[in-house]
Structure 1
Amino acid sequence: MGPDRRGFLDHRRLLDRRERRWRSSDRLDGDRRRPPLSLVVALVLACVSLMVLDQQAGEDSPVEGARRAVGEVVGPVEVGASAALRPFVAVPDWFRSHDSLRNELDDLEAENARLRNDARRADYDRNRLEEYDGLTAAASDLGHSLVPARVVGLGASQSFSNTVTIDAGSDAGLRADMTVLNNDGLVGRILRVTGSTATVLLLVDAESVVGGRIGRSLEVGFLHGRGAIGGDARLDLELVDESVVPAEGDSVVTWGSDGGAPYVSGVPVGRVTTVFSSLRDSSQRAVIDPYVDFGALDVVGVVVPAGTGSDRAVIEADGTMR
């Protein structure tokens, strides 16, 4: 065996010895890192014992002091972390709450708007209901059937300066020369009709002439309009018997026309406010304040014959509706 062969074998044996030492060292290190099984069992038993003892002892638990110490250290940290995270955690709830409140606010605003609108309309609806009730009473008092209608136009664009348009016409059984009244008294007469509307000449028009009767004396005369509407609306009454002197405050009703056209009898017109006497011809003239406010006309009734066909409800002479 030559020198080179011996050197190689010596080197190989040296490497084998080192490898055995390394393996032996790894086993020792592993044994040192791995706790003995008896120690693990002892720790588990100790933990179980502490838990049982802590549960049975309650406030007198031997670990209460340690728990309190840990709480004093960890508690402030938890409070700080919670305060720091609360805004971020609350963001989804804020959006949900904000949307809910926005919807509730929208609902409340809509409800308030409806209530305000109802409050604004309350007087209007109440007045309209009173006018319908007044028409029912008028039909019963006069003994005539009435077709209710509403004033929908006041007319400079029409043939006469003191006319109104109502929302009922021939389809409701109306025709020219029918008496128009409301719950206060005489309004006027129908001039012309269409299928769904009618034009009414007002009592106060300058071209209007109505036969009237003084309520107390039953003396008759003729009422002439002055052409004014509103607070200045007045009528002039000229009596047929010029010797009769009407009294202030006397009421005036319609005299009535043959066949009830254009005016039925007994409809209230107004009251006497002033009487003028002419010494030269011994005549009397009375000024009449009409009962109807012609500047605030709304609901009116048109006198129709009993049994008239109509496309709307009719107030019968006995106050019932058909």
Structure 2
Amino acid sequence: MRDTRESRLLLVLLVAIAFALITVDIRGGEASPVDSARHAAATVFGPVENGVADAVNPVGNAIGAVRDSGDRHDRISALQRENAALKQQLGSSARNRSRVRQLDTMLKTAARGQYGIKGAQVIAIGAAQGFSWTVTIDAGSADGILRNMTVLNGDGLVGRVTTVGPHTATVLLANDPDFTVGTRMENTDELGFATGRGDRPLAVQLLNGKADVKKGDRLVTFGSSNDKPFVPGVPVGQVIRVDPSRGDLTRTVYVHPFVGFTKLDLVGVVVEPPRENPRDTVLPAKPAKPKPAPTVTVTVTPSGNPDPNADAAPDANAAPDANADPNGDADPNGNADPNADANVPQ
């Protein structure tokens, strides 16, 4: 349509009529003169609006779903992160309880031996440093750690410090083939040298070839000069096999170490040796021997009331009755008859 003067006048007129109808409808309220026209329009155009809404709503819902999918994805991601955090927290609680037990046991061991220790955590294993059995701990020279210091945990001897950095140190484990430590047998004081054999039991060469040693005997460290690299009294292990004595100057036994070298976590480096040799006091208490179970013996005793119906057999060795009637006429009461003729030989 061309923009002419007549069209502009028609547009102004329609706008004026619309405002007039709106004003009349508002003032009329429920009695509005255009109310009937509104109802008629609703009757005519209502079904059309519903049909259009039914057709358009799925599209609108799809658009809304696409628009909300980002928020839902973010919410799912947040829930997944919360779930992972809760699982980690539960795992951390179990690990913390385990570390508390390890620390408590280690402190008790250090107290029995009067060792001054510096606690540390194993942060790496020997694969990064070669094929030897070594671990790296998170304590170094800044923490007072020096070479050739004894390393232990709550179970016993772990190893000795070999290299030291400012904040880390390397520990050679007691099961390494290059590891050797002087040992002393519990109670008998037999001396020897224990050597690591990897994942096999330690081999201990006793200096006395005739030493009286048996399975179950326990060993501790003998100690070194100036307590380096080993302080005395640290539990080493328990004898599991004894080679037969062949008259040699030495004797070899095999010892299962107290420490589990494949599951090390918290360790203690002995930075202050004991004032006195603790001897065997650091060894754990031996389990109590089980008491033998009492045995019950049942003895069957015959009854004192014989069976009245049983026929008693005459005793062939029974002595004759002194009151028996020689003539066989016995008195019912068991007394001999005074008037009976005695059978006296003439």
TM category, shorter:
0.5 to 0.7
Relative to structure 1, is the Cα distance of residues 78 and 227 closer, same or farther in structure 2, using a 3 angstrom cutoff? same
Question: Are the aligned partners of 1:204 and 1:224 in contact in 2 as well (CA < 8 Å)?
Answer: no
Relative to structure 1, is the Cα distance of residues 300 and 88 closer, same or farther in structure 2, using a 3 angstrom cutoff? same
Which residue does 1:7 correspond to in 2?
Answer: none
Question: Are the aligned partners of 2:182 and 2:194 in contact in 1 as well (CA < 8 Å)?
Answer: no
Question: Are the aligned partners of 2:183 and 2:194 in contact in 1 as well (CA < 8 Å)?
Answer: no
Asked whether 1:178 is paired with 2:149, we answer yes
Relative to structure 1, is the Cα distance of residues 87 and 210 closer, same or farther in structure 2, using a 3 angstrom cutoff? same
3-state SS of paired residue (1:190)? strand
Question: Are the aligned partners of 1:162 and 1:227 in contact in 2 as well (CA < 8 Å)?
Answer: no
CA distance in 1, matches of 2:265, 2:194: 23
Counterpart AA for 2:245: S
Relative to structure 1, is the Cα distance of residues 279 and 89 closer, same or farther in structure 2, using a 3 angstrom cutoff? closer
Question: What is the TM-score with the length of structure 1 in the denominator?
Answer: 0.62
Relative to structure 1, is the Cα distance of residues 165 and 71 closer, same or farther in structure 2, using a 3 angstrom cutoff? closer
The unaligned stretches of length 5 or more in structure 2 are 1-27, 33-38, 274-346
CA distance in 1, matches of 2:175, 2:62: 73
The unaligned stretches of length 5 or more in structure 1 are 1-44, 50-66, 307-322
Asked whether 1:152 is paired with 2:123, we answer yes
Counterpart AA for 2:252: R
Aligned-pair distance for 1:70? 11
Relative to structure 1, is the Cα distance of residues 86 and 209 closer, same or farther in structure 2, using a 3 angstrom cutoff? closer
116-125 or 276-285: which moved more? 116-125
Aligned-pair distance for 1:117? 4.8
Question: What is the TM-score with the length of structure 2 in the denominator?
Answer: 0.58
Asked whether 1:295 is paired with 2:295, we answer no
3-state SS of paired residue (1:201)? strand
Which residue does 1:285 correspond to in 2?
Answer: 252
CA distance in 1, matches of 2:94, 2:218: 29
CA distance in 1, matches of 2:235, 2:228: 16
- Bigger helix share: 1
CA distance in 2, matches of 1:126, 1:280: 51
Identity value in percent: 36
Relative to structure 1, is the Cα distance of residues 220 and 262 closer, same or farther in structure 2, using a 3 angstrom cutoff? farther
3-state SS of paired residue (2:145)? coil
Alignment deviations for residues 24-43 of structure 1 (CA, whole Å, 9 cap, x no partner): xxxxxxxxxxxxxxxxxxxx
Relative to structure 1, is the Cα distance of residues 283 and 240 closer, same or farther in structure 2, using a 3 angstrom cutoff? closer
Which residue does 2:192 correspond to in 1?
Answer: 222
Aligned counterpart for 2:169 among listed residues 170, 173, 198: 198
Query: Does 1 or 2 have the higher relative contact order (CA < 8 Å, sep 6+)?
Result: 1
Relative to structure 1, is the Cα distance of residues 279 and 102 closer, same or farther in structure 2, using a 3 angstrom cutoff? closer
Aligned-pair distance for 1:273? 0.2
252-261 or 122-131: which moved more? 122-131
Aligned-pair distance for 1:78? 5.5
147-156 or 74-83: which moved more? 74-83
Which residue does 1:111 correspond to in 2?
Answer: 82
Counterpart AA for 2:112: D
Which residue does 1:313 correspond to in 2?
Answer: none
Which residue does 2:328 correspond to in 1?
Answer: none
Relative to structure 1, is the Cα distance of residues 106 and 163 closer, same or farther in structure 2, using a 3 angstrom cutoff? closer
3-state SS of paired residue (1:136)? helix
Aligned counterpart for 1:131 among listed residues 95, 102, 115: 102
Aligned counterpart for 2:65 among listed residues 79, 82, 94: 94
3-state SS of paired residue (1:295)? coil
Aligned-pair distance for 1:279? 3.0
CA distance in 2, matches of 1:105, 1:159: 45
CA distance in 1, matches of 2:185, 2:80: 57
Aligned-pair distance for 1:274? 0.6
Asked whether 1:270 is paired with 2:240, we answer no
3-state SS of paired residue (2:106)? helix
Aligned-pair distance for 1:212? 1.8
